[in-house]
Amino acid sequence: MKSVFLFLLLISGLCFASNVYIFNYDQVDLIYDVAVGDSIDTGYWVEQTLLALGDSVDSGTELPSNLGSYDVVFMMMGMYTC
């Protein structure tokens, strides 16, 4: 998990104050997070980290037909579960 946040910090540093789109493909795949006290999807902490770093974030379950207005696109494809 620590490496994910370092990766996000690096990406955000390269795209300072960027316009980001988070594509949450699988909204059904939820996991209970004790820190939040509720179930979250795969893009929750990515979105929270980017917002804390000052980026503007849009997210949705549909991939926009025109991604030209976004600097970065994160594609969250779900979580691996056994």
List the structure tokens of 54. 């000052």
| Residue pLDDT, tens place only, 34-61 | 988 998 888 888 899 899 988 899 988 8
The whole-number pLDDT of residue 78 equals 73
Give CA–CA dist 11/59, Å, rounded: 17
With a CB cutoff of 8 Å and minimum separation 6, the contacts of 56 are 17, 18, 19, 20
pTM over 0.75, yes/no: no
Residue 13's pLDDT is what?
56
19-24 β-sheet, strand order: 56-60, 19-24, 72-76
Q: What is the Cα–Cα distance from 20 to 4, expressed in whole angstroms?
A: 17
Distance of CA 70 to the CA centre of its chain: 14
Answer yes or no: is pLDDT of 17 > 70: no
As a whole number of angstroms, the distance between CA 65 and CA 63 comes to: 6
